[in-house]
Structure 1
Amino acid sequence: MNTVLHKASTRGHANHGWLDTNHTFSFANYYNPERMHFGVLRVLNDDSVIGGKGFGKHPHDNMEIVTIPLSGDLAHQDSMGNSSVIKNGEVQVMSAGTGLFHSEYNANSDKAVKFLQIWLFPNRKNVKPRYDQISIKSISLKNDFYQVLSPSKDDQGVWIHQNAWFHLGDFEREKTTHYQLKSPENGLYVFMIEGDATVENQVLNRRDGLGIWNTNNVKITASANSKILLMDVPMNI
């Protein structure tokens, strides 16, 4: 088993006034040659946008983009004609493919919107751009992981052009579970959204990340009430 630890305090950070952001991997003005990606997981941004502000129209191509709101409401518009608001308890995905434009704004004027934005390299380039947004409230579980993303449009959650699976879990203190990786070619990136947990022998705190590979099973024990995101991704780009 191999591991790489990314403590929350070691992430790239920028505060633009309207945007307070932390970058687990190199992004924008944050560059660390040792923090470029974890397998096909290229971007893991932890963003907070103040009321009424946001990202104006900007382009993407050949990237799978996943947004997981943590609190507040995020307004989205894109060149495919989609206009929506996403909030906690939902997951949004875009396959940028041949190219698209989109904007993201805080839908409220009186409170921040907080969300994770995650980019993955696709396993197919130049696909037709695609958008999806789902509620995950009906599939959420207590003290276990539930799938919110996969490679299959027929499986639970949203789907992307990559051999990747995402799971979320809300755990009470002292609860233990095991996660079985979906493919021997994959590694697991564990991101502590809230709380504390021990993953194998490594203690993780709020917003810490741990990458694990060359194993097929991972033991996770919550040491406090915790919310955990698992990203099961190919290690070879």
Structure 2
Amino acid sequence: MQKQFNWLIVLLISLISISISSCKEEDNNDPELATIDIIGSNKLTVSSEGGTVNVRFTSDCQWVLEPSNHNPNDDVVMTPTSGGTGYNAVSVKIPKNQSTYELYFTFLLRDTKTGGIIATFSVTQEAGNFYIECDTGVVDLPYEDCETVIPVLSNHEIEVCVRDEDRSWLDAYIVKASDVHSNRYSLHIQALKPSYEQGRVRAGRITLNAAEIQKNIHVLQKCSD
């Protein structure tokens, strides 16, 4: 009986040893995790006017560079977007910040083989200044055509004001593009009634206000001959 018991113990120990050895072999066969080491800081900044940032890193794998799905601007340009082992350098060009708040961008470096994210870096862009932009500051309104539309760009809601002494004949209103995130507006200018006085050009003024920014639009309408 004792011999049978001893034999069972020996068998059990042998099975445990074989199991441990098998696990070690499996562990040794597992591929090592890829690494990407960014040289310097992985948190970068760029001015509101936009610019290019450069990131250097070393890698022991084939990699691809991707923007985060949550980035606020799709016009970012990345060069290159893939590479291999050793020393690498990528550049990211950020466009002008058209908003009045900071923007945050995140970029992902993935292992091409596994698809896993190996490293990330981020870019913070300074808030933009308030602005109003349009192609012209003077609008010639023909006598025969009493209405015109000019495009306007602004990163703030626009208020339109017609000079008091011009309201008897001049009107204007602003329409924003349907996209809520757009900075595009259309300024509609109307002469409410034509002038029949000869030898004159009547002049009016429209003021566009966006926060602390103002822009004057001068409207000239030729009188009938």
TM-score normalised by length of structure 2: 0.24
Structure number, greater radius of gyration = 2
Q: TM-score, normalised to structure 1's length?
A: 0.23
Considering Cα pairs closer than 8 Å and 6+ residues apart, tell me whether 1 or 2 has the greater RCO: 1
Name the structure where helix makes up a greater proportion of residues.
2
Which has the larger strand fraction?
A: 1
